[in-house]
Every structure is written in C-alpha cells, then in structure tokens.
Chains A and B, each alone.
Chain A
Amino acid sequence: MLTRTRQRTRSAGAELEADELRSAGIHVHFEGVKAVDGVDLTLRRGELLGLIGPNGAGKTTLVNALTGYERPTAGQVFLGDLDVTGWVPHRLGPMGMARTFQAVRLFDELTALENVEMGALGVGMRRKVARQQAWELLDRMGIADKAHQLASSLPYGDERKLGFLRALSTRPVFLLLDEPAAGLNEVESDELMLAIGSIRDDFGCGILVIEHDMRLIMGLCERIQVLDYGKTISEGSPSEVQADEAVIAAYLGRKGMQAADGQADAGD
C-alpha cells in the first residue's frame, strides 16, 4: 500500500530516477588515521547489500562519507550520474538518501509518532500526510500502541525500530543502516532483519546494512562487501565471502581486539 500511494513531494525531480548510489575511490583520513582508504561501493535500487568488517574497519565512516556527514579526503560519490561529493546531509535527504545511526539518535522529547513523522516532514510532506504514514509504519512494526510515548521512554528494542522507521518515512531510494541490530537479542535481531527484507520488497529501495554479526547478514543479504583497515578486502555472495581466506584472517586476527573495542563502543 505504501508503495502504491508513493507520490514524491521532493524538489529534486529527474535525479531521483538514479538507480544506483556509487562511491569511487573514497578516502577519509583523520589526522594520521586512514579510516577509509580508497573504497569503491555500489548500492543498486532494490538490492540488499551487507557491509561487514571488524570494529574500526571504517564502515561507519564510509556511510558518513556517503551521506554527507564526512567530506571525503579524496574520491567521489554519485547518485546515478550526479556527482554529490561533499553535499551536506540535508540536501541528500530530499534526493532519496536516508540513514540510521549506530547510536540511534532519536528525538528524545518527542513522541514515537512525531519521531516517525519527522522523516516525512523533512522531505517536504505535509503534516497530515506525514502523520497518516507514520501510523502505518508504526503499525507495520507493531509499535503503534506506543505512538504517544516519548521516545526516551521506550525500551531499547523499540528505539532501534523507531530509528529505522524514521529513516524509512522519508521514503528513501537508498537506505543505509548502521548496525541496526546492535544490542538487540537474538529474537529481536531476527525480527528486525525480516522487517528489513520485507521493506526492501515493498519499497523497492536499495538497502545497505552494516552488521557485526555474520550470521544475521548472511541470511539477509544477496551481496556482501567486507572492509578492513579502510580497504575492501572481499566482495561477493555470502558463501563466497564466507569462504574467503582474507575475511577469515581479518575476523580471527582481530578477535582479541574486538572485545576491547566493543567496550569502548558501548561508551558512546
């Protein structure tokens, strides 16, 4: 139903027909740290792409560069044929890009409903339309009964869902999810992954999922790209990636470090 009523109120026009989001040789360097070091990535419409790699591999930074939160030190970002390198985030939203954050970043003092509405309002929909759509989305994830609660009062699992719905309410063409299942238990994670799959089917958008857990990502994505130390070390179908020596080495080699990183992550 959502797909059918989809009428764009966006200002962008023709560029929206972009059928892929592409990065070419993206570098993001911080003083001394080459967080992203020459990555090519393509996300097609209707595709579910997994982006994995050990902690600190540069996944978040890559998404930041794609969504305008980090200006690439070198390299380019394209939406279809349009060069959007260095565009600020709020220009990319109406172009069909949306993302979630590793730390969720909800609008704490607003209700769940308003949080979801916000995405639609951000890309220029009217309040009435936005509200209607927000109810549908909340229903879809089974949290409509919490619509009027403040986001800050929701349990963690619902927060994650809400962050996802908020991005979704912009009716994105390309949706980038930064560790959407982080901190969820196994049941919740599986549920969320199912929802992500069904959203892709209904919306026909391209979804990039960053995920730590190999098991989750293998079940969900058709294609997987693996980062380590800011570089692509492998790319292909789940089974290809799983069998790749380089990937195994990266994950095993960093096992010890990962535990320590995980703790530092929890801090922010």
Chain B
Amino acid sequence: MDPSEVAQNAIDAAARGSFLALVALGVALLFGIMNLVNFAYGEVILAGGYAMLIFTTWFLDASVWPLLIIWTVVVAIVFALAQERLAFRPVRHADPTTMLVTSFAVSVLLVNIAIVVWSGLARPVEIGGVTLEQFTAGEIRIRKLDVITLGAAAFLLLSLTAFLKRTSLGIQMRAASEDFRMSQLLGVPANRVIATAFFIAGILAGSVALITVGNQGSSSPGMGLFPLIFGLVAVVLGGMTSLIGAVVGGFVLGGLIVGLEQGLATYGMERFRDAFVFLAVIVMLVFRPQGLVVGRAIRERV
C-alpha cells in the first residue's frame, strides 16, 4: 500500500471510529449505571431521524441548521427520558436479562410504530449538499461529513469528560457507574443519576441521528438497528463497564471494519465483513469478557 492509501484508510477508520464511539458511549453509559443493555437505544436514534424528517417537511428547511440540530437533539432527549420513565424504571430492579428483553420489546414497539406512521420505506430528508461535499488533497479525499463527525465526536467527548470530572452531578454519575449500590448508600439520588444518564444518551443519540441522516440522506425504520448493533459490538470489544473502554472500542471497531474490508477485498469476500465482526464479538466475550479496557470487577463472591 502506498502512503496516500494508508492515509486514506486511516481517515476512514477514524471517521467510522468516532461515529461508533458516540453510539458505544451511549450504550455503555446506561450499562454502567443500571446494567441495562438497551436495544431500544437504536430507536432513540430513530426518533432523531424522524424528527429531522418532520422538521424539513413541516417547519423549515435545513438551511437553518442550528435550529435543526437543536430540535433533533431535543427530540432524542425526550425519547430517551420517556423510555426510562415508562419502560425501564418499572423493571429497574429486575435481573439484567429481563431488562434486556424489555428493551427488545421497546425497540420492536417503536420500530413498528415508525412503520405504521411512515411506512417501511426510507423517506428522503432534504438537508442540502453537505453529505456530498469533500476536500481533496492529492489522492486523498476527505468527506466534509467525516470532518464534521470527527469534530462533533471530539466536542462531545470533551464536554462529557468535563461534565464527569468537574460537576458534582458528574462525579455522582461516575460513582454510580463504579458501584451503584454503594453510591446509593452514600446518598447519591438514583432517579436523578439514571435520568441524567438517559439525558446524555439522548444527546449522543441525537448527534448520531444527525450524522446517520447526513450519510444516507433519508430516515428509515431500520436506521437505528445497525448503529445500535455496532455500538454494542464496540462496547463489548472495549469493555462493558468502562466509558473509556467504549470510546476505545468504537475506534478499534472502526479500524477493524476498514482493515477487514481491505483484507477481504483481495479475496473478493468483503460482503462477509460483518460475519467476521460478529465472530470477533463472540471470541472477545469468551476469551476476554472484561474487554480491552477493564472497568469494575464483575466476579461474584461466595
């Protein structure tokens, strides 16, 4: 591979990685606080996607993009909080498997509502030409959207870090994700911490929705599924119990995907790429269940 090809691949990997890191962070946040693997997190992204459709068809066009962004993120936050209040709070004390099935039910419910309302087909969202624009430097092409993705990811990661490190609510959140029961004993309010986690997850999902719709130019009932699944994969790779792990996992997965595409292409097998990705998940779960970055211990004492 010549240098420009390497650079191109690195840029691709970084763009995908930062996207996956955003999804993974949302998944890991909820897992850390309440042991919830939230399938329906994909449908928070979905809500953001259809919010964009509504905005561009009914209200304004996408040229007032700051409003579009705020609107999308707000809708996602509302959906995330509603999920928590209506579905997950009642099962908060159930075992993780029950919560997992609950989130599966919520996910199927929301996807099918979207189909009933907007049909199963993708609906184009008019967001102008951002999606197609790209910079070129020699042989390297950089899509403007990838730059935006990287920038947004960097901004959100830094803000989240600042929030977790500097504010008292953030510190309480970190305590809760380390050891929820202990943090309860120390007086951290459960409802507030959990609601905050869903709030932040909503912000992340809204951003992911903006990027996804930017990429595909449309909203569709299935648009939350693959970000969610790959976000989950990233979380497993990085480590279920660590936020840093989620980010690391996102970038590792981004690299893995690009690497697999390159490697498999030489055998004409790139369409099997995802099979290898899921195989990697199983291998990881079996041989290194704690992930690449180790968070809190999960072994049970007798």
Contact = CB atoms under 8 A, between A and B. Distances in A.
User: Touch between A and B in complex, CB under 8 Å?
Assistant: yes
Interface residues of B, number: 2
A103 B302 CA distance: 8
Contacts of B301: 268
A121 B302 CA distance: 22
Interface string B263-302: 0000000000000000000000000000000000000011
A229 interface: no
A170 interface: no
A190 B121 CA distance: 73
A251 B56 CA distance: 76
The SS class assigned to the B binding surface is: loop
B294 to A, nearest CB: 12
A32 B6 CA distance: 46
Interface string A91-116: 00000000001110100000000000
A232 interface: no
A234 to B, nearest CB: 26
Nearest to B297: A31
Interface residues of A, number: 8
A76 interface: no
The SS class assigned to the A binding surface is: loop
A64 interface: yes
A215 to B, nearest CB: 27
Interface string A256-268: 0000000000001
A69 interface: yes
A268 B275 CA distance: 42
A64 B302 CA distance: 8
Nearest to B301: A268
Contacts of A60: 302
Contacts of A105: 302
Contacts of A101: 302
A174 to B, nearest CB: 18
A69 B292 CA distance: 25
A105 B302 CA distance: 9
A103 B300 CA distance: 13
Contacts of B302: 60, 64, 69, 101-103, 105
Contacts of A64: 302
Contacts of A268: 301
Nearest to B185: A267
A223 B148 CA distance: 74
A60 B301 CA distance: 10
A174 B180 CA distance: 39
A146 B302 CA distance: 27
Contacts of A103: 302
A268 B302 CA distance: 10
Interface string A62-86: 0010000100000000000000000
Nearest to A268: B301
A107 to B, nearest CB: 15
A82 to B, nearest CB: 24
Nearest to B181: A267
A152 B301 CA distance: 21
Nearest to A178: B302
B179 to A, nearest CB: 13
A109 to B, nearest CB: 13
Nearest to A60: B302
A62 B151 CA distance: 54
Interface string B122-142: 000000000000000000000
Contacts of A69: 302
B256 to A, nearest CB: 32
Nearest to A105: B302
Contacts of A102: 302
A115 to B, nearest CB: 17
A57 to B, nearest CB: 16
A268 B182 CA distance: 13
Interface in A240-268: 268
B228 to A, nearest CB: 32
A69 B301 CA distance: 9
A101 B302 CA distance: 7
8 contacts: A60-B302, A64-B302, A69-B302, A101-B302, A102-B302, A103-B302, A105-B302, A268-B301
Given A64-B302, A101-B302, 6 more contacts: A60-B302, A69-B302, A102-B302, A103-B302, A105-B302, A268-B301
Per CB-CB distance, the 7 closest pairs between chain A and chain B, nearest first, are A69-B302, A101-B302, A64-B302, A268-B301, A60-B302, A105-B302, A103-B302
